[in-house]
Amino acid sequence: PLLPAPRAHAPYPAVLARPGRADSQDFKMASIVPLKEKKLLEVKLGELPSWILMRDFTPKGIAGAFQRGYYRYYNKYVNVKKGSIAGLSMVLAVYVLFNYCRSYKELKHQRLRKYH
């Protein structure tokens, strides 16, 4: 029986040699994005303390973070063509959790009381 000849190159050399892909050298090197501009999920564990210290903890910076979060939530769940109950149910779940945490001390006190 005849065996097929071994290939001397990769099966798709045009795809593998394309610049900017995951197999290129630039991807394997360190990131060139400054640490301050990285998102939380892109930060490595060793960089986390310095990334936290670079955040803006002034009242204006905190208000801006809440505003960005609100607009991100609004545009993802409320301001859509085909909406669902997911956006409202998340707000309701946070409201219930917040009120439970707020009244936990009284609930704990009532739970531990013995009734004869």
Please state whether the predicted TM-score (pTM) of the whole model is above 0.75: no
Most distant CA atoms of the chain, gap in Å: 91
Query: pLDDT tens digits, residue range 42-60?
Result: 888 998 999 889 888 999 9
Place of tokens 């002034």: 58
> What are the extents of the domains in the chain?
43-81, 84-115
Alpha-carbon gap, residue 30 to 48, rounded angstroms: 16
Contact present, 73 and 65 (Cβ < 8 Å)? no
Contact present, 86 and 74 (Cβ < 8 Å)? no
Query: pLDDT tens digits, residue range 78-112?
Result: 888 887 888 889 889 999 999 999 988 887 777 66
Alpha-carbon gap, residue 53 to 47, rounded angstroms: 10
